[in-house]
Amino acid sequence: MEKRFYITTAIAYINSPPHIGFAYEVIGADIMARFQKMQGKEVFFLTGSDEHSFNVYKKAQEAGLTPHEYCDKMVERYKRIWQLLGIDYDRFIRTSSEKHKKVVYQLMDKLLQTDFVYRGKYSGWYCISCEGFYREKELKDGLCPIHGREPEWVEEENYFFALSRFEDFLKSHIKDHPEFIQPEERRNEVLGILNSGLQDISISRRGKGWGIPFPGTKEEIVYVWVDALINYISGLGDNFPDFWPADFHVIGKDIIRFHCIIWPALLKTLQLPLPRRIFSHGFINLKGEKISSTRGNILQPEELLKEYPADALRFYLFREIPFGQDGDFSLEGLKERYNQELANDWGNFVRRIEVMTDKYFASTIPSPSKLSPLEQELTSFSKEIWRNASSYMEEFHFSLALQETWKLIKRANQYIEESSPWNLHKTNDKERLSTVIYTALELIRKIALLLFPFIPFSCARVLEDLGVKKQLNWQEAGEWNKLPPGKKITLSPPLFAKK
Ligand SMILES: [Zn+2]
């Protein structure tokens, strides 16, 4: 098993605060990073900001700030929201940082020395929101197919990258590495683009005073997408040799062209290994429409966090929507799952068992005696849940992993009803009561470990209540008898207050 694990998100366009659609991506990567850490891997989780876009430049001007001042402010805001959401990244890379600029400059210089770069004249359609070029036939009624806005006609002389020479290479790489682009729909989409033929792309642009100078030119800057993609290398800093290639680039499905075609072609030219897997998630819709800053139907995590704890939001998104597909966000759905599943099914269970442990055993973990068939059945059932959840987690099937875990939570609640500890207490059946409470505490421990990547704030508290050591271990979610009898637990207030 590989010991190291490198995962990235796309870097944020900071011309507006993060909306729920982008937070979704960053939370998804965070869940995977936490899961890998729990498996004992050395994880590097990178996120950051894409600062050299024309939209950022324009927004700064409107606000009467320099682009740098504007970006500093927005980056602080992003970092604060990521912290509130429990995003445990290792580095936040800014494309305006000197370190990043230096790496981009060096790599462009290296690229220039290959015969894949040439001087040419560009003319074509350019969408400022995508920062991307389009062919006439790719436009939808003359508009950008993603943003629905009118593209600009651009004509200028600049440097070109011979992307068209990579068709065969990319096709065979995708064929030889079926895991390279996930999910399958996106792989097919990329193959479709390759089959319809690639055109060379321009990689320098006439400067607008905001960007990374292109080596050997006076007035040209590095095409912002090339600049942005290189963050995956510059963001590693000195860790580059140990962590490259990336295990996962997590991206939105609207930018697969850049990540699955341009990026691998550039890496190949630079003689660097390609990322292992590129995972593309779907869009979050609000009442059936895509959420986007350009469309103006924004749902901001900042607002939602005033009403709900971060765990609620993290949970709802990944319980509700299979990562990789489009899904609908609704406030009603959030409230329902929060009350029903987090507060009732899970929070209540934890609270009940902690209260009973306090009442019957003065908050001391009891010593179990002989297991009845009920506990034996529960043991193998929970083992199976753990096994299924583990393989779902590896493949980004987060909603399925949660579905599995919920089966165990339901079963745990049922177990308490079936074995009614309150009756055992009444009849003074100490032996049986000890076994039931011990088993229930063990179930809490196992479930909290399974849920930790999703709802880290509340699970950390539960595990702390039980005295589980800080170095959380996924393997232990599949094992029994980890809690030491005789130790005290902490009785905490309910995990989730009902709305
Ligand atoms: Zn566009």
In this predicted model, what pLDDT tens digit does every residue of 436-467 receive, in sequence order? 999 999 999 999 999 999 999 999 999 999 99
Q: Which residues of 479-493 are buried (b: 16+ CB within 10 A; e: fewer)?
A: ebeebeeeeebeeee
State residue 393 phi and psi, 5-degree precision: -60, -45
Q: Is the pLDDT of residue 372 over 80?
A: yes
Neighbouring residues of the ion ligand 1, judged by CB less than 5 Å: 127, 129-130, 144, 146-147
**Mean pLDDT of the region 406-418:** 98
In this predicted model, what pLDDT tens digit does every residue of 394-406 receive, in sequence order? 999 999 999 999 9
Ligand 1 centroid to Cα of residue 22, in Å, is: 17
Q: Is the pLDDT of residue 218 over 90?
A: no
Q: Is the pLDDT of residue 184 over 80?
A: yes
E strand or H helix that includes residue 279 = strand 278-281
Whole-number pLDDT of residue 469: 87
Ligand 1 centroid to Cα of residue 55, in Å, is: 12
Ligand 1 centroid to Cα of residue 148, in Å, is: 7
In this predicted model, what pLDDT tens digit does every residue of 377-395 receive, in sequence order? 999 999 999 999 999 999 9
Ligand 1 centroid to Cα of residue 144, in Å, is: 5
Q: Is the pLDDT of residue 295 over 80?
A: no
The DSSP-derived string for 66-93 is: -HHHHHHHHHHHHHHHHHHTT---SEEE
Whole-number pLDDT of residue 366: 98
Ligand 1 centroid to Cα of residue 261, in Å, is: 18
Q: Is the pLDDT of residue 292 over 70?
A: no
Ligand 1 centroid to Cα of residue 127, in Å, is: 5
In this predicted model, what pLDDT tens digit does every residue of 467-482 receive, in sequence order? 998 899 999 999 999 9
How would residue 300 be classed by pLDDT, with cut points 50, 70 and 90?
confident
Ligand 1 centroid to Cα of residue 146, in Å, is: 5
The share of the chain scoring above pLDDT 70, in percent, equals 98
Ligand 1 centroid to Cα of residue 139, in Å, is: 10
Whole-number pLDDT of residue 208: 64
In this predicted model, what pLDDT tens digit does every residue of 223-276 receive, in sequence order? 999 999 999 999 999 999 999 999 999 999 999 999 999 999 999 999 999 999
Ligand 1 centroid to Cα of residue 10, in Å, is: 16
**Mean pLDDT of the region 330-351:** 97
Whole-number pLDDT of residue 434: 98
Q: Is the pLDDT of residue 294 over 80?
A: no
The DSSP-derived string for 20-42 is: HHHHHHHHHHHHHHHHHHHTT-E
Ligand 1 centroid to Cα of residue 147, in Å, is: 4
**Mean pLDDT of the region 351-356:** 98
CB contact set of 365 (below 8 Å; sequence gap of 6+): 357, 438, 441, 466, 483, 484, 485, 486, 487, 488, 489
Peptide bond into 183 cis (omega under 30): yes
Ligand 1 centroid to Cα of residue 321, in Å, is: 25
Ligand 1 centroid to Cα of residue 107, in Å, is: 27
Ligand 1 centroid to Cα of residue 338, in Å, is: 36
Ligand 1 centroid to Cα of residue 245, in Å, is: 29
Ligand 1 centroid to Cα of residue 15, in Å, is: 15
Q: Which domains does the chain have, with CATH numbers?
A: 4-307 (3.40.50.620), 331-478 (1.10.730.10)
Verdict on whether the full-model pTM lies above 0.85: yes
**SS3 for 282?**
coil
Ligand 1 centroid to Cα of residue 83, in Å, is: 30
Ligand 1 centroid to Cα of residue 64, in Å, is: 26
Whole-number pLDDT of residue 240: 97
- Are 201 and 262 in contact by the 8 Å Cβ rule? The answer is yes
How would residue 293 be classed by pLDDT, with cut points 50, 70 and 90?
low
Ligand 1 centroid to Cα of residue 143, in Å, is: 8
Ligand 1 centroid to Cα of residue 132, in Å, is: 7
- Are 56 and 70 in contact by the 8 Å Cβ rule? The answer is yes
In this predicted model, what pLDDT tens digit does every residue of 15-72 receive, in sequence order? 888 989 899 999 999 999 999 999 999 999 999 999 998 889 999 999 999 999 999 9
Instruction: Share the mean pLDDT of the chain.
Output: 95
Ligand 1 centroid to Cα of residue 456, in Å, is: 36
Nearest CA-CA partner of 444 in 420, 469, 419, 466: 466
